[in-house]
Amino acid sequence: MPDLSPEALSADQARLYGAVAGGDRARDASFRLTEADGSLVGPFGALLLSPAVGDALQQVGAAIRFGCGLSPVVREVAILAVAAHWRSGFEWWAHEPIARRAGLTDQQIAALKAREAPEFEDSAVSAAHAFSAALIAGGRPDDATFEAAREALGLDGAMELVTLVGYYNLLAQLMQTFDIEVPTGEPSPF
């Protein structure tokens, strides 16, 4: 990766940097967004390599995290399922604490990390996990899995969940391709 510290950025890269570092993610403050030199952590630095594509992606990510109708529990179950599938250290590092704040238990988090189906009291969360797992496996969910997700989340929620899983799959592949892990000084969860 080239030098992507703030002083090395082009004007387009700097605009994208500002959108990420000063947007909803920064206000949410669930995890740090920068290294000591100011460069963006995780997939956000790689998004700077192509500012037009990177900006579109960060807008999709912000819509998923801050603007969709999925509950925080459903959203974080799906994100951790993707992170576990790809062994995406950054996504797990960033989202495990968010998942805990959303109400996931140690046992549920451990099951997700082991790529197993956790037990949930809420059948809607179970349906969302089964739907996410089918998407992550690379296929079309079977009719019963889709119907359970549609019933639990609505068609809009099912669409949002497909988008969420696709987006986090994309980020995981991006980080694998560019060898992006957890921020400096943080332990790898995998």
Q: What is the pLDDT of residue 98?
A: 94
Q: What is the pLDDT of residue 33?
A: 86
CA distance 62 to 71: 15
41 in Cβ contact with 8 (< 8 Å): no
82 in Cβ contact with 91 (< 8 Å): yes
Q: What is the pLDDT of residue 31?
A: 80
Phi, psi (rounded to 5 degrees) for 40: -70, 145
Q: What is the pLDDT of residue 73?
A: 98
Q: What is the pLDDT of residue 30?
A: 76
CA distance 116 to 93: 19
Structural domains of the chain, ranges and CATH numbers in brackets:
6-66 (no CATH), 72-177 (1.20.1290.10)
83 in Cβ contact with 91 (< 8 Å): yes
* Each residue's pLDDT expressed in tens, for the chain with a length of 190 residues: 888 999 999 999 999 999 998 876 666 667 888 898 999 999 999 999 999 999 999 999 989 988 999 999 999 999 999 999 999 999 999 999 999 999 999 999 999 999 999 999 999 999 999 999 999 998 789 999 999 999 999 999 999 999 999 999 999 999 999 999 999 999 999 9
Q: What is the pLDDT of residue 28?
A: 67
Q: What is the pLDDT of residue 48?
A: 97
Q: What is the pLDDT of residue 189?
A: 96
